């Protein structure tokens, strides 16, 4: 009996050693935080995933993936297209969330339409980021282009901070930073959001070669994400407090930011990939190509691996 127990323990230890550590890059975007919740609540560990999450801006995130210091990332579909176009071989394994007002364009109180942004200065991150993609799309839909505005290149958090202190005529940012502008109406207002222009879709991606070596780890990581969503439903106060701690918000403040996010459970994932994914990816490719952010056009079918849902 003792011998059998020893052999079983040895097998478990060998299995754990055989699976690589997941080093995942993401930002402080509210929608990504269930992944951090899975880490803080011990869900990844319980499911046998050795997970390290690093907060890295989009441009550095792509460089880290290319260099091999990351093997997974949370990102938007448009950013994933940019990475794929550049030859960074990653695939989507799950849909994380859809922004439902969590991304937006803030403007000074005397600006009342997108068309009025022509010639104005806008705090916005650079090409290949979701903020740049969203702004490009919104301008195009209103008869303008990215060349019609003066871009001040700032990431999501500094873009919001600079705007509330008086820098530039507008800013493109996302939650929780968008709420810093909501909280200071004298500095400006939210003109439009992703509720008006639903183009912000977030996904979990892994490097293709990592998946080939560690399929069980990838499956356990995806399952852990869905388990974290279950925890949010069952214990919202505790979950919001844990997720808020990672972005320096109280649980109550995080809950308010989360109201602008729609996290995607397993059923929503299957529906999205069956009905929406290809059309949305092809649309995003067209926008990115038109704005000269990408040259090579990746195929939607090559960018996903649905074997872990």
pLDDT in tens, 161-175: 999 999 999 999 999
Residues found in the chain: 309
In a domain, 9, yes or no: no
Distance CA 133, CA 280 (A): 13
Domain boundary among 193, 214, 241: 193
Do 221 and 269 lie in one domain? The reply is yes
Please indicate, yes or no, if residue 274 is contained in any of the structural domains.
Answer: yes
Which strand (E) or helix (H) includes residue 39? helix 33-40
Q: For residues 264 and 94, what is the distance between their CA atoms, to the nearest angstrom?
A: 9
The reply to whether 111 and 90 lie within a common domain is no
Q: What's the pLDDT at 37? A: 98
Cα–Cα distance for residue pair 199/80, rounded to 1 Å? 14
Phi, psi of 55 (to 5 degrees): -90, 110
Please tell me whether residues 41 and 125 are part of one structural domain: no
Q: Which residues of the chain, if any, have pLDDT below 50?
A: 1-17
Task: Let me know whether 178 and 230 are in one domain.
Answer: no
Helix-then-strand count for the chain, H and E? 14, 11
Return phi, psi of residue 99, to 5°.
Answer: -70, 135
The residues, ordered by sequence, that sit 6+ positions from 139 with a Cβ below 8 Å of its Cβ are 114, 117, 145, 146, 148, 149
Indicate if 116 and 173 belong to the same structural domain: yes
- d(CA 76, CA 79) in angstroms, rounded, equals 5
* pLDDT for the residue numbered 184: 94
- Please tell me whether residues 87 and 147 are part of one structural domain: no
Report the CATH number at residue 207. 3.40.190.10
Tell me which of 169, 193, 217 is where a domain ends: 193
* Same domain membership, residue 270 and residue 226: yes
- Please give the pLDDT value at position 128: 84
Res 18: pLDDT: 66
Domain holding 77, by residue range, is 21-98+200-303
Q: Is the dihedral of CA 101, 106, 108, 111 positive or negative?
A: negative
Domain boundary among 133, 167, 193: 193
> Has residue 308 been placed in a domain?
no
Task: List C-alpha distances in Å: 240 to 31, 37, 102, 107.
Answer: 12, 9, 16, 29
Q: What is the largest CA-CA distance in the chain?
A: 79
Counted domains in the chain: 2
């Amino acid at each position: 009996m003792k011998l059998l127990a020893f052999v079983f323990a040895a097998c478990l230890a060998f299995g754990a050693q055989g699976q690589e550590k997941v080093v995942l890059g993401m930002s402080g975007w509210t929608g990504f935080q269930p992944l951090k919740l899975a880490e803080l609540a011990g869900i990844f560990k319980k499911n046998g995933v050795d997970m390290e999450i690093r907060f890295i801006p989009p441009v550095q995130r792509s460089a880290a993936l290319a260099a091999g210091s990351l093997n997974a990332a949370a990102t938007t579909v448009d950013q994933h297209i940019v990475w794929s176009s550049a030859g960074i071989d990653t695939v989507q394994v799950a849909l994380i969330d859809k922004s439902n007002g969590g991304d937006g364009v803030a403007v000074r109180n005397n600006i009342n339409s997108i068309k009025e942004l022509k010639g104005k200065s806008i705090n916005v991150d650079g090409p290949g980021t979701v903020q740049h993609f969203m702004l490009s799309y919104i301008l195009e839909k209103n008869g303008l282009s990215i060349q019609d505005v003066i871009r001040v290149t700032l990431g999501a958090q500094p873009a919001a901070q600079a705007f509330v202190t008086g820098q530039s005529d507008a800013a493109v940012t996302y939650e929780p930073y968008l709420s810093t502008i909501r909280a200071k109406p004298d500095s400006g207002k939210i003109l439009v959001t992703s509720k008006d222009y639903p183009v912000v879709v977030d996904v979990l991606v892994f490097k293709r070669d990592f998946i080939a070596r560690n399929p069980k780890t990838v499956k356990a990581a995806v399952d852990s994400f869905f388990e974290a969503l279950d925890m949010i439903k069952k214990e919202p106060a505790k979950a919001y407090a844990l997720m808020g701690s990672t972005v320096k918000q109280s649980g109550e403040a995080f809950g308010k930011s989360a109201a602008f996010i729609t996290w995607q459970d397993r059923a929503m994932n299957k529906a999205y990939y069956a009905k929406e994914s290809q059309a949305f990816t092809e649309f995003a490719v067209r926008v990115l190509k038109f704005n000269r952010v990408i040259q090579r056009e990746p195929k939607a079918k090559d960018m996903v691996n649905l074997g872990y849902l």
